[in-house]
Chains A and B, each alone.
Chain A
Amino acid sequence: MRGPHDVGGLKAGPVDTETHDMTFWEKQIDALHALIGDDKRRIVPKGQNRRYVEALGEDVYNTLSYYERWTATMSQQLLEKGVLSREEIDAKVREIRDRLEATGELELREGEAEKI
């Protein structure tokens, strides 16, 4: 079985070799990922989110950016561990969405506005 991540040897377009700076939220996600898997906390096994990322399915995998995949899978892991509840995540998303809407900083992907 070939997961959506296992693309070695498949036809692909040119590789984007530009370097990209990580945004602040990407750094936050990276740090959270390290913390929930470190030896002190051991909330999840190291690197476990790779398995979750592979299980997102081809469509979602190819729609989300790298750290969006991590965000999606880490919230799933923390839900399963009982660290966060769905209600807590939804409430926080609403709070942030409202705040960004108020400041005009809310950026949505095409087609995303209708879903709200």
Chain B
Amino acid sequence: MAEPFEPGDAVRVREDYPPGHIRTPVFIRGKEGVVTRTFGRFDNPEITTYELEGPQKTLYEVRFRQVDIWPDYDGSPSDTLDVDIYEHWLEKA
């Protein structure tokens, strides 16, 4: 099965604020980064926590520039942050 993304792809985190158990932190929603790693497919904890069945989702490591995340970031422009994000929270940038 073709993966929705692969390392090197530019992605944007969905800017969405649904209620319930969410594994994508608020501070990274709406930000753009680049996929650096594919971890594989896993049960989706946003579904399994409710003891429901659902399709497995691919988990990615996405690298963001700190200056893209924090408006007043005063560290080096080359500083980055890696966040593990499930495929359903990502869209093509």
Q: Tally A residues with Cβ within 8 Å of B.
A: 12
Q: Which chain B residue has the least Cβ–Cβ distance from A5?
A: B25
Among B37-67, those with CB < 8 Å from A are 45, 48-51
B49 and A2 form a contact (CB under 8 A) = no
B27 and A9 form a contact (CB under 8 A) = yes
B27 and A8 form a contact (CB under 8 A) = yes
Q: Tally B residues with Cβ within 8 Å of A.
A: 15
Among A1-17, those with CB < 8 Å from B are 1-2, 6, 8-9
- Consensus secondary structure, chain A interface: loop
Check B92 for interface membership: any CB of A closer than 8 A. Answer: no
Check A50 for interface membership: any CB of B closer than 8 A. Answer: yes
B70 and A9 form a contact (CB under 8 A) = yes
A47 and B45 form a contact (CB under 8 A) = yes
Inside 8 A of A9's CB, which chain B residues have their CB? 26-27, 69-70
Check B21 for interface membership: any CB of A closer than 8 A. Answer: yes
Inside 8 A of A50's CB, which chain B residues have their CB? 21, 45, 49
Inside 8 A of B26's CB, which chain A residues have their CB? 2, 6, 8-9
Inside 8 A of B27's CB, which chain A residues have their CB? 8-9
Check A26 for interface membership: any CB of B closer than 8 A. Answer: no
Our pick among A6, A45, A48 for the contact of B25 (Cβ within 8 Å) is A6
Q: How far is it, in angstroms, between the C-alpha of A48 and the C-alpha of B21 when the chains are bound?
A: 10
Q: How far is it, in angstroms, between the C-alpha of A51 and the C-alpha of B23 when the chains are bound?
A: 10
Check B19 for interface membership: any CB of A closer than 8 A. Answer: yes
Check B18 for interface membership: any CB of A closer than 8 A. Answer: yes
CB-defined A-B contacts under 8 Å, sample of 16:
A1-B18, A2-B17, A2-B26, A6-B25, A6-B26, A8-B25, A8-B28, A9-B26, A9-B69, A9-B70, A47-B45, A47-B49, A48-B51, A50-B21, A50-B49, A51-B21
**Footprint of A on B, CB under 8 Å?**
17-19, 21, 25-28, 45, 48-51, 69-70
Nearest first, the 7 closest Cβ-Cβ pairs linking A and B are A9-B27, A51-B21, A8-B27, A51-B49, A45-B48, A8-B25, A2-B26
